Amino acid sequence: MSIINQNIPRPEYPRPQMVRQEWLNLNGTWDFEFDPGDSGLERGLLETPLSDSITVPFVPESEMSGIGDADFHEAVWYRRRVEIPAEWRNQHLILHFGAVDHDTTIWVDDTEVMRHRGGFTSFEVDITDALKNKTDFALTVRARDSRHDWQARGKQSTWYGNSECFYTRSTGIWQTVWIEPVPKVHIRQVNITPHVGMEAFEVVPVVSSNTTGYRIHAILSDENGNEVSSGDARLADDFSPTIMLQLEDEDVHLWEPGHSYLYSLSLIVTDETGTVIDKIESYAGLRSMTISGTDILINGRPVFQRLVLDQGYWPQSLMTAPSDQALIDDIELSMKAGFNGARLHQKVFEERYLYHADRLGYLVWGEFGDWGVSSGIGPKGNNQHQTASFITQWIEAVQRDYSHPAIIGWCGLNETYQVLTDRITDLDDVTRAMFLAAKGMDKTRPVLDASGYSHRVIDSDVYDAHNYEQNPAEFARIFAPGGEPFRNDCEGDRISVPYAGQPYFVSEYGGIWWNAELAARSNSQTDAEQDRSQSWGYGQRIASEDEFYERFEGLTRVLCSNPGHFGYCYTQLTDVFQEENGIYDFKRQPKFDINRIRRIQEGLVSQYGR
């Protein structure tokens, strides 16, 4: 039995690769109160009623929360009563949070059950002991999100208003909250590794206890529901039992960009009598990632990556997708324009997005939210200073998303703002730690140390640059084949290690600035510069749609024609608030002829054999 109320926001199961039939969605109306002095615990907010209400999982800064207060919020409090279904008695209850920004404390009634630091990653806690056999309880959440603390923020502004590439903040719960019942011995996680050469999947379930006499069974089925492989392992044999699922030749179907194939995977735990005590439903895609020279290969062949930068913001709900369909729409809008993937930029996207990317055969780079991190206060004073929490959250993100076939690479840092000196900084340590963490946890995908500039890891699998030059002729000079196309365009004192022959791409370019309404009433570039208070983009704003197509094609031709590049990433999919360099506006309406953008990309890829 699944307990689903379609009248609450985001009713769909939030974790598609570990689905249980019984669960309780806790989204909807919660009691709520701002705590501007972060003194709520001392003032007794844990014991007293909260003064307001909010719609979870939308943050108080957003319209869809029912509050829409975009001021600074040092701390916020949430509470709701939860009734436990009678049939869940004698089971363990796991409380899940998709994401809470930033520093979270959880209470069951008056018992503190967990603390978690990090605004981008999921976490869970077993609340069984705290319940003390009660059938209902008060669930209280405090989230601290001080603008003065050092933390990973992504694109969230640390001054009041939005400007340039900085957006409205998100405080508190911003992804689904839910509870599910499990037995004492249950599956906590599953890592699925495809082996194309072996025509097999390696399945490593993580269980709560390696109990003697218990077994875990794996059943793999094709898209028609026919079983194609199975296997099992005794839980007591290994700390992390491994099951190899071998396929027959006729049952081998590759997951390909644009043509996904997903197998269904059932994982079942049985006790010493053979009785089923736990079961989850999952899925898997069979695809490989390898590097050959300067090419990144998918299933043994180079696939030119036509990526778009996706910020994952919506005007009414900020970092939280307003609906599951909104996630699907963004992928389909990108594919309609001729892109085959995205850099998931400056946030850890929710698992529902990755599920839809898996289904649609859409390539994505898994990233983190830490733009401009530095060993001191950044150029905008955003306090996005690296801490141990960066590494912890990054490990949590890689661990959670490891099994998604759509993810084709990892990149933990973006545009780290660090001047190169003759002294090692803590940013050097954090950069290498995040790189090594991804490499250690995932030996099947390439890892980029830091996108854009300030590359610090000499053995990074991938090298890249960001370049927003708007003149195609100058862009061609910078990235001319046979010249030195692999240099960074940023200040030399921020470049740490030289290019060493890795696969290379320009992972941010374009950002062509266009606001038709402002252009219609502006008569000069001086007018355009004055417009930057309400509209922002890279370089000189174009004067017409025709100029967009000319500039887009010119810039993109440079990257397609260079045989040393394995792809590109265009900035960006949609406008976000004042940043108006998307191919769609913030409401997802097309700003240009989308079919023409698709034809430009497909024509260039065909012309240059990419």
pLDDT in tens, 275-318: 999 999 999 999 999 999 999 999 999 999 999 999 999 999 99
Q: Is the pLDDT of residue 566 over 80?
A: yes
Report which listed range, 203-212, 399-408, 449-458, is most confident.
399-408
Q: Is the pLDDT of residue 69 over 90?
A: yes
Distances (CA, A) of 43 to 47, 50, 252, 570: 9, 12, 62, 50
CATH 2.60.40.10 in the chain, residues? 187-284
Q: Is the pLDDT of residue 548 over 90?
A: yes
Residues 6+ apart with CB under 8 A from 268: 216, 217, 218, 219, 276, 278, 279
Q: Are 396 and 122 in contact (CB under 8 A)?
A: yes
User: 286 φ, ψ to 5°?
Assistant: -95, 105
pLDDT in tens, 152-176: 998 898 888 888 888 999 999 999 9
Mutual orientation of helices 351-360 and 388-401 as an angle, nearest 10°?
Answer: 40
State in Å, rounded, how far the first CA of the chain is from the last one.
Answer: 49
Q: Is the pLDDT of residue 486 over 60?
A: no
CA atoms within 13 A on the CB side of 197: 4
Q: Cα separation of 235 and 438, whole Å? A: 27
Distances (CA, A) of 149 to 39, 102, 374, 386: 16, 10, 14, 11
How many CB atoms neighbour CB 63 within 10 A? 15
Q: Which of 141-155, 272-286, 402-416 has the lowest mean pLDDT?
A: 141-155
pLDDT of residue 381: 46
CATH 2.60.120.260 in the chain, residues? 24-181
pLDDT in tens, 589-600: 999 999 999 999
Q: Is the pLDDT of residue 418 over 80?
A: no
DSSP character string of 217-272: EEEEE-TTS-EEEEEEEETTT-SS--EEEE--GGG--B-BTTB---EEEEEEEE-T
Best CATH choice for the domain 24-181 from the list 2.120.10.30, 2.60.120.260, 3.40.50.720, 3.40.640.10: 2.60.120.260
pLDDT of residue 431: 92
SS3 of residue 137 by DSSP:
strand
Our CA angle for 570, 575, 577, nearest 5°, is: 140
pLDDT in tens, 504-533: 999 999 999 998 888 777 655 555 565 666
Mutual orientation of helices 426-441 and 388-401 as an angle, nearest 10°?
Answer: 20
Mean pLDDT of 524-544: 73
Q: Is the pLDDT of residue 383 over 70?
A: no
Tokens 């769909």 belong to 12
299-607 is classed in which CATH architecture?
Alpha-Beta Barrel (3.20)
Share of the chain above pLDDT 70, in %: 93
Q: Cα separation of 360 and 358, whole Å? A: 6
Q: Are strands 341-344 and 363-367 parallel, antiparallel or unpaired?
A: parallel
Q: Whole-number mean pLDDT of the chain?
A: 92
Which pTM does this prediction carry? Answer: 0.95
What is the side-by-side order of every strand in the sheet holding 200-207? 187-195, 200-207, 243-246
Q: Cα separation of 45 and 47, whole Å? A: 5
pLDDT in tens, 426-461: 888 999 999 999 999 999 999 999 998 888 898 999
- Helix (H) or strand (E) run with residue 18 in it: none
Q: Is the pLDDT of residue 384 over 90?
A: no
Residues 6+ apart with CB under 8 A from 505: 305, 462, 464, 559, 565, 566, 567, 568, 569
Nearest to 80, CA basis, from 55, 113, 98: 55
pLDDT of residue 122: 97
Composition of the chain by helix, strand, coil, percent to 5: 20, 30, 50
pLDDT of residue 526: 54
Q: Is the pLDDT of residue 342 over 80?
A: yes
Q: Cα separation of 488 and 479, whole Å? A: 10
SS3 of residue 55 by DSSP:
strand
pLDDT of residue 396: 97
pLDDT of residue 483: 61
pLDDT of residue 1: 41
Mean pLDDT of 48-52: 96
How many CB atoms neighbour CB 136 within 10 A? 10
Nearest to 3, CA basis, from 29, 23, 17: 23
Q: Are strands 136-144 and 75-83 parallel, antiparallel or unpaired?
A: antiparallel
Let me know if 458 is exposed, middle or buried by CB neighbors in 10 A (0-12, 13-18, 19+).
Answer: exposed
Q: Domain 187-284 has what CATH class?
A: mainly beta
User: DSSP assignment, residue 495?
Assistant: -
SS3 of residue 350 by DSSP:
coil
Q: Is the pLDDT of residue 560 over 80?
A: yes
What is the side-by-side order of every strand in the sheet holding 227-234? 227-234, 215-221, 263-270, 276-284
Tokens at 488, concatenated: 């960074």
Distances (CA, A) of 348 to 98, 106, 119, 145: 11, 22, 9, 17
CATH 3.20.20.80 in the chain, residues? 299-607
Q: Cα separation of 53 and 77, whole Å? A: 10
Tokens 């704003």 belong to 541
